Amino acid sequence: MRELDVLLTRYLEQDYRQAAPCDRAAFGRILDLQDPEIFGYLLGRTVPEDVSLHHVIARIRRVED
């Protein structure tokens, strides 16, 4: 999905370099998910059970704003 590419690229450009190693690892796990699942998280339709994923998703959503 093109929309996901835009959001994830913004996070990479603006936050990834300064992110803690655990957040970088969580971002890698997010990339392993299926696009519809990531999209649901980013739209706030669903919430990841993994707290570290939830934290990075929240950061990605803030970068979008």
- Residue-wise pLDDT for 14-31, tens only, equals 999 999 999 999 999 999
> CATH no. for residue 21?
1.10.150.250
- DSSP code at position 45: S
Provide the domain limits for residue 37.
Answer: 2-64
Please state at what angle helix 21-31 crosses helix 51-64, rounded to 10 degrees.
Answer: 90
> 23: part of which helix (H) or strand (E)?
helix 21-31
What predicted TM-score, i.e. pTM, was given to this entire model?
Answer: 0.87
- Domain count for the chain: 1
pLDDT band with cut points at 50, 70 and 90 for residue 3: confident
